[in-house]
């Protein structure tokens, strides 16, 4: 019995360590923050930096090799790559690393289920559920990352529009205004700033403004940005007043945000019903009616005993 628990603890600890290592390696922003802190506390030598880069490259090659073992159709690759871009991961290696997680997590969960003995309840069901959860968990995580990034971009869109209106009214063109806005919101809204910088880079390498703006809408997947890009393309095509169109669109965007906030506030009362009914009301009933029930029982049982 002790050996089983020891083995289970070792397997669980090793699985957590592997997942944490891959998680840290998969987040470039967290890695940059950690590197800054480590440089402040203890600066690295050139040999240590080269060693860490070699280890990171080796880990990435290993993960890519594992990811390529799992076959993928062209449709699935397009869908996953679109989600990866919307989550902020644009390199080709990130797609194969995500595929490798779909191999490692099911194997890790099956090993954990096997050594803990949980499969003895129902081997086919438990092992099948472990495989299914391990295979679908990376997809759920990627979808969650996309939603988080889209929410952050949506929060910074109103500020970016205000700055864009100011730049256009000051006499700058649309390209220069986008560049200036991307520089100004880099600290407060890095995701939106990165997308606007990509638009500027695409226009510099030869893409037309309409194609670059359509690419922005596809990369982000945010409905408000799709409306903004459609308005900018139409304004550029018909030659209307850009500053006035941006101001009207900014006002409409603020009205939509206010309506979304009112909708969330209206749903809050409905969401509060289950916690009130299942958690708060029973405790209140016990506190308020408990003494009365005890007194009633003391009074009734002697009468029934007679």
User: What percent of the chain is predicted at pLDDT more than 70?
Assistant: 74
pLDDT tens digits, residue range 211-236? 888 888 888 888 888 888 888 888 88
Q: CA separation (Å) from 54 to 49, 58, 61, 66?
A: 9, 6, 10, 18
- Per-residue confidence at 70, pLDDT binned at 50, 70, 90? low
Q: Which among 109, 187, 105 has a CA at the least distance from the CA of 142?
A: 105
**Greater pLDDT, 74 or 142:** 142
Q: What is the pLDDT of residue 4?
A: 58
User: What is the C-alpha to C-alpha distance for residues 153 and 135, in angstroms, rounded to an integer?
Assistant: 29
**Whether 259 contacts 280, CB under 8 Å:** no
In contact, 89 and 122? CB cutoff 8 Å: no
**Residue 51 clears pLDDT 70, i.e. is over it:** no
pLDDT at 205 exceeding the cut of 80: yes
Q: Tell me the average pLDDT across 157-162.
A: 86
Cα 230 vs. chain centroid, distance in angstroms?
26
Task: Flag whether pLDDT at 196 surpasses 70.
Answer: yes
Classify residue 209 as exposed, middle or buried by CB count within 10 Å of its CB (0-12, 13-18, 19+): middle
Task: Say how many C-beta atoms besides its own lie within 10 A of residue 304's C-beta.
Answer: 6
Q: Are 235 and 249 in contact (CB under 8 A)?
A: no
Whether the per-residue pLDDT at 32 is higher than 60: the answer is no
- Please compute the mean of the pLDDT values over residues 53-76 and round it to a whole number: 66
Question: In which band, very low, low, confident or very high, does the pLDDT at 29 lie, cut at 50, 70 and 90?
Answer: very low
Distance (Å, rounded) from C-alpha 106 to C-alpha 131? 5
Q: Residue 46 — pLDDT band, cuts 50, 70, 90?
A: low
The helix-helix angle for 2-26 and 46-69 (nearest 10°) equals 110
- Residue count (the chain): 306
For residue 185, CA distances in Å to 47, 82, 157 come to 36, 25, 10
Distance (Å, whole) CA 112 – CA 110: 5
Asked if the model's pLDDT at residue 30 lies above 60, the reply is no
pTM: 0.68
Question: Which has the closest alpha carbon to 182: 152, 155, 158, 160?
Answer: 160
Q: How far apart are the first and last CA of the chain?
A: 56
Express each pLDDT in 258-283 by its tens digit: 888 888 888 888 888 888 888 888 88
CA separation for the pair 158, 235 (Å, rounded)? 19
């Amino acid at each position: 019995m002790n050996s089983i628990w020891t083995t289970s603890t070792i397997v669980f600890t090793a699985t957590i360590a592997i997942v944490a290592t891959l998680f840290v390696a998969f987040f470039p922003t967290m890695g940059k923050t950690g590197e800054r802190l480590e440089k402040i506390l203890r600066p690295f030598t050139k040999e240590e930096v080269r060693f860490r880069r070699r280890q990171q490259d080796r880990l990435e090659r290993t993960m890519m090799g594992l990811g390529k073992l799992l076959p993928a159709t062209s449709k699935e690759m397009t869908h996953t790559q679109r989600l990866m871009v919307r989550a902020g991961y644009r390199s080709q290696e990130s797609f194969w690393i995500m595929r490798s997680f779909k191999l490692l997590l099911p194997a890790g969960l099956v090993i954990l289920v096997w050594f803990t003995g949980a499969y003895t309840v129902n081997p086919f069901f438990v092992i099948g559920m472990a495989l299914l959860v391990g295979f679908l968990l990376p997809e759920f995580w990627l979808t969650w990352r996309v939603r988080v990034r889209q929410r952050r971009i949506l929060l910074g869109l109103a500020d970016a529009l205000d700055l864009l209106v100011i730049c256009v009214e000051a006499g700058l063109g649309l390209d220069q205004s986008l560049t200036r806005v991307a520089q100004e919101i880099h600290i407060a809204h890095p995701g939106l700033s990165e997308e606007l910088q990509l638009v500027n880079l695409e226009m510099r390498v030869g893409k037309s403004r309409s194609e670059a703006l359509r690419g922005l809408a596809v990369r982000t997947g945010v409905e408000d940005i799709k409306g903004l890009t459609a308005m900018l393309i139409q304004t550029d095509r018909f030659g209307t007043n850009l500053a006035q169109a941006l101001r009207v669109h900014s006002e409409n965007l603020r009205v939509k945000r206010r309506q979304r906030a009112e909708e969330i506030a209206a749903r809050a009362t409905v969401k509060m019903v289950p916690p009130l009914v299942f958690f708060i009301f029973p405790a209140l009933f016990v506190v308020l009616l408990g003494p009365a029930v005890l007194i009633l029982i003391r009074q009734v049982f002697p009468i029934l005993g007679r």
